[in-house]
Amino acid sequence: MVDVSRQGVEITLTVNGRKHRAQVEPRLLLADFLRRRLGLTGTHLGCEQGVCGSCTVVVNGETVRSCLLFAAQMDGYEVETIEGLSDDPDLLHPVQQAFWDHHGLQCGFCTPGMVLTARAFLEENPEPSTPEIREALAGNICRCTGYMFIVNAVKAAAETMARKVPDGKSS
């Protein structure tokens, strides 16, 4: 017998390495769950239509739109948000550091989604060309920068990450 739930769905999920149990209304979007229930407000809602990429988070290792998933679906899943990358401004992830060094952000609203997308891309493609970087970021809209400094930042991050000995912490 399948439980058809109107009120609350019981979920257990891991967010940034921490386990959470929660009861969620079926319609609660993952983005709102992260923001309102867990206080992880680095995930931003820019369109709720799946286009802008501001709400990008990582679910079971893959980038997804958290505005197009319900928290109720996340039982047993692992979620990573921008807050999971670093909690120390002196120990930023190489992608964050490169965005900082290369002026890859202005208002910062798209930045968490952009950083998570870029990181996932670089993990898969450590030596990307400029067109590949642009293509990889095509699903993330930035209204401030015109993208060029973001692209430069991703290139620079690729170089740093290539120099780094993988220690499990830097990625």
Partner 1 sequence: MKPAQFAYCAPRTLEEAISLLEEHGYDAKLLAGGQSLVPLMNLRLARPTVLVDINRLNELDFVESGVDVIRIGAMTRHHAVATSPEIREASPLLSHAAGHIGYRAIRHRGTMGGSLAHADPASELPCIAVTQGANIRVDGSTGGRTIRADELFLEQLTTALATDEIVTSATFPRIRSDEGWGFREFVRKVGDFAVVMAASVLRVVEGRVTAARLGLGGVEWTPRRVTEAEQVLVGSAVEPNAIEEAARVAAEVVDPISDIHGSADYRRRLVFAMARKALQDAVGRLEVSRG
Partner 2 sequence: MNHRKQPKLLGARVRRVEDPRFLMGKARYIEDIELPGVIDAAFVRSPFAHAEILSVDLSEALAAPGVIAALHGQDLLGRVKPTVCDAISDGWQSSEFPALAIDRVRYAGEAVAVIAADNRYVAEDGAALVDVDYRPLTPLASAEAALEPTAPLLHEGWKDNHFYRDRLAGGDPDHAFSIAHGILEFEVATHRHGGIPMEGRGCIASYDPIERVLTLWSATQIPHLIRSELAICLGLHENRVRVIAPDVGGGFGPKSHLNPEEVAVCLLAMDTRRPVRWIEDRREHMLACFHSREHYHKAKVAYAEDGRVLALSAEVTVDCGAYSVYPWTAALDPGMSLFIMPGPYRIRNFRCETSAVATNKCPYGAYRGVARSANCLTIERAMDAVADALGMDPVEVRLRNLIRSEEFPYTSVSGFVYDNASLIESLKQVCAEADYPGMRERQRIARGEGRLQGIGVVTFIEQTAPAVDEGAPINFRYDSAIVRLDPSGCATVQLGTHSHGQGHETTIAQIVADQLTIPMDRIRILYGDTQQTAQGIGTFASRTAVLAGGAAHNASGQVKDMLLERGAHLMEAAVEDVELVGGRVTVRGSGTRGLSLAGVARATYYHPELFPFGWSPLLEAAGTFDSGHGTYSNASQIVLVEVDPETGAVKILEYHIVEDCGRMINPTIVEGQIHGGVAQGIGGALYEELIYNDEGQLMTTSFMDYLIPGPTELPDFRVSHLETPSPTGPTGVKGVGEGGAVAPYAILAAAVQDAIRPIGNVFVNELPLTPERVLRFIDQAANGHG
List interacting residues with partner 2 (CB under 8 A): 25, 27-28, 35-36, 39-49, 51-52, 54, 81-83, 85-87, 89, 92, 96, 99-101, 103, 105-112, 115, 130, 133-135, 137-151
6 binds partner 1 (CB under 8 A): yes
Nearer to partner 2 among residue 13 and residue 52 (C-beta): 52
Quickly tell me which residue has 């620079």 as its tokens. 156
Beta-bridge mates of residue 73: none
How far apart are the C-alpha atoms of 83 and 61, rounded to whole Å? 15
78 binds partner 1 (CB under 8 A): no
Tell me the window of 2-10, 34-42, 80-88, 143-151 that interacts with partner 1 (CB under 8 A). 2-10
Question: What is the number of alpha carbons within 13 Å of residue 129 lying toward its C-beta?
Answer: 2
How far apart are the C-alpha atoms of 42 and 136, rounded to whole Å? 21
Nearer to partner 2 among residue 13 and residue 152 (C-beta): 152
Pairing of β 56-59 and β 78-80: antiparallel
Nearer to partner 2 among residue 26 and residue 75 (C-beta): 26
Nearer to partner 1 among residue 3 and residue 90 (C-beta): 3
Spatial CB neighbours of 112, under 8 Å, sequence gap ≥ 6: 42, 43, 44, 54, 56, 81, 82
* Count of positions (residues) in the chain: 171
**Binding residues for partner 1, per CB under 8 A?**
2-6, 9, 25-27, 29, 32, 48-50, 53, 56, 62-65, 67-70, 72-73, 75, 117, 120-121, 135-136, 138-139
